[in-house]
Amino acid sequence: MPIAPVNKAMVDPIPVASVSKDHGLIVHVVRQFWPNRGGLEDVVLNLCRQGVKAGYRIRVVTLNSLFSDPSRELPAREMLEDIEIVRIPWRGSSRYPVAPSVLSHIRDADLVHVHAIDFFFDFLAMTKLVHRKPLIATTHGGFFHTKKFAAIKAIWFNTLTRFSVSRYAFLIGCSASDVEMFTPIARRNIALIENGADLEKFSGRSSILPVKSIVTIGRFSVNKRIDRLIATLAALRQRDPDWTLDIVGVDSDLSGADIRDLAVRSGVATATRVHIGLANEGVAEILERASFFASASDYEGFGLVAIEAMSAGLIPVLQPNAAYDALSRRHDTISLADFSAPEIAADEFHKTWTRLEQEGTVLRQRVMAQAASYGWDATAARYLDLYARALS
C-alpha cells in the first residue's frame, strides 16, 4: 500500500518555538524505562534530557517492575540526572499492562507525552474529560509487531485506537511506515518525526581493520528472529570458519540460556557469544572487534539500533522489513538480506565482506557519515515545537 500523503509542513524541519525560561512540567508516560535499556527507553531518555536542556521540568511515569524481572519491585520514586521517575503498580499482560494510578501523577502536568500504543494511550484518552491535560503521543511502531491476533488487532485499531487518537493534540509517527499505518485514523493530527539517535556513545568504535565478526543488539524477543541469525552464522561458517557472532541484549520472550541453546543446536556454540545487560561502554568494547551489524527482525518501528551501529562504523546487513527497507533506500551502505533463507543471507554477507575488503576505511567512514544526520538536536527541535503548539 502506498504511503498516504502527509502535510508537508509536518515533514519539513520546523523551527523551535520561542518560549519563556520556565516552560512548565512535561510528564512522559511509558511502560518501561530506566534501568531497563532498549530502543524505546533510549528515545524517551534522550528526549527527557533535551527537555531539561530547553528549560522544562521533566517527570517519567512508568511501571514499578521490569518485564524481564517481574519479581523485583523497583523504587517508587527516583531521580536520574534531572529527571524525576515515578513508578506505579500494574497488573495484566506486559503487552497491555493496566495501571490506572497514572492519573495521580499527571495532576500538576502542563503536558503529557505518551509513548507507544498501549493501555496508557487508551486510558488517558478516555479520561481526558477528567484530567483535562493536553496530550501528545509517539507511536513507536504501534502494536503490529507480529501477525499474531491480526484480526483482533485490526478491529481494535479501527475502533478504540481511532477514538483514542481523536483525543490527542498530535500523534507522532517515528517512521514513514508508522505514518502510513496511522494516517487513515489520524489525518487531522499526525506528524512525522523520526527518532533521534545517540551518536556519541558508540561513535567510531568498530574495528578499524576488516574482521569477519557480526554484532546484533536488542531485546531477546521472538520477533527479532535471533534463531534465523544463528542459522545464517551456521551457513557462513560452513564456507569460512572465521565468522563469529556477538548477541547483545536483555532477556525478553527468550532468555540468554535459550539463545545459547539455539547456538548449540545449530553447531555454532563456539562462535557465538551472548552478552546480557551490558552498559554502553561494555557494548562499545564488543563493537571494537566487529565490522558488521545484523538484524533479522520481522518488525522495527524505525531502526534506531541500526543507526547507532552505523555511527560506530559497522556495516549493516538487515532484514527487509518496512523500516529497514526505508533506511536502505536512503543509504547505500546498508545491505538487505532475507534471513528466512540462511544460505541467501550468507551470500549477502559474503558480498558485503568483499566490498569492505575493497573499500576498507572509505566504506567505514561513509557509513558513519550517513548516520550523522540522525542526531538528537534536530529531532528535539521538532518535538519542542510541537510541545509549544500543544501548550498554546
Domain shared by 359 and 384, yes or no: no
The answer to whether residue 241 is domain-embedded is yes
The residue type of 324 is Y
| HSE-CB for 166 with a 13 A CA cutoff | 10
The residue type of 84 is E
Task: Say how many domains are in the chain.
Answer: 2
The answer to whether residue 204 is domain-embedded is no
The answer to whether residue 205 is domain-embedded is no
69 DSSP 8-state letter: B
Domain shared by 341 and 381, yes or no: no
CATH number of the domain enclosing 275: 3.40.50.2000
Domain shared by 333 and 231, yes or no: yes
**What pLDDT, on a 0 to 100 scale, did the predictor assign at position 107?**
97
The answer to whether residue 2 is domain-embedded is no
pLDDT one-digit tens code per residue, 229-286: 999 999 999 999 999 999 999 998 899 999 999 999 999 999 999 999 999 999 999 9
Is the CB of residue 302 less than 8 Å from the CB of residue 374?
no
Percent of the chain surpassing pLDDT 90: 77
Domain shared by 119 and 250, yes or no: no
The answer to whether residue 146 is domain-embedded is yes
Q: How far apart are CA 275 and CA 260, in angstroms?
A: 10
Domain shared by 354 and 380, yes or no: no
Domain shared by 21 and 141, yes or no: yes
- Say if strands 77-80 and 83-88 run parallel, antiparallel, or are unpaired: antiparallel
Cis check for the bond before 35: say yes or no (omega within 30 of 0): yes
Does this model's pTM top 0.85? no
Domain shared by 128 and 44, yes or no: yes
CA-CA-CA-CA torsion for 130, 135, 140, 142, nearest 10 degrees?
Answer: 50
The answer to whether residue 326 is domain-embedded is yes
Phi, psi of 228 (to 5 degrees): -70, -35
**What pLDDT, on a 0 to 100 scale, did the predictor assign at position 254?**
94
Name residues whose C-beta falls within 8 Å of residue 336's C-beta, 6 or more positions apart in sequence.
Answer: 317, 318, 319, 320, 324, 325, 328, 348
Domain shared by 42 and 168, yes or no: yes
Domain shared by 127 and 63, yes or no: yes
Domain shared by 130 and 188, yes or no: yes
Q: Is 194 helix (H, G, I), strand (E, B) or coil?
A: coil
Q: Structural domain of residue 361, as residue ranges?
A: 213-374
pLDDT one-digit tens code per residue, 51-96: 999 999 999 999 999 998 888 999 999 999 999 999 999 999 988 9
Q: How far apart are CA 330 and CA 174, in angstroms?
A: 16
Is residue 122 within a helix (H) or strand (E), and if so which, with residue range?
A: helix 119-126
The answer to whether residue 226 is domain-embedded is yes
Domain shared by 369 and 380, yes or no: no
Domain shared by 108 and 166, yes or no: yes
Per-residue pLDDT of the chain (392 residues; tens, 9 = 90+): 333 333 333 333 333 333 334 679 999 999 999 998 888 899 999 999 999 999 999 999 999 999 988 889 999 999 999 999 999 999 999 889 999 999 999 999 999 999 999 999 999 999 999 999 999 999 998 765 455 656 777 887 889 999 999 999 999 998 888 899 999 999 889 999 998 988 999 999 999 999 999 999 998 999 999 999 999 999 999 999 999 999 999 998 899 999 999 999 999 999 999 999 999 999 999 999 999 999 999 988 788 899 999 999 999 999 999 889 989 999 999 999 999 999 999 999 999 999 999 999 999 999 999 999 898 988 999 999 999 999 98
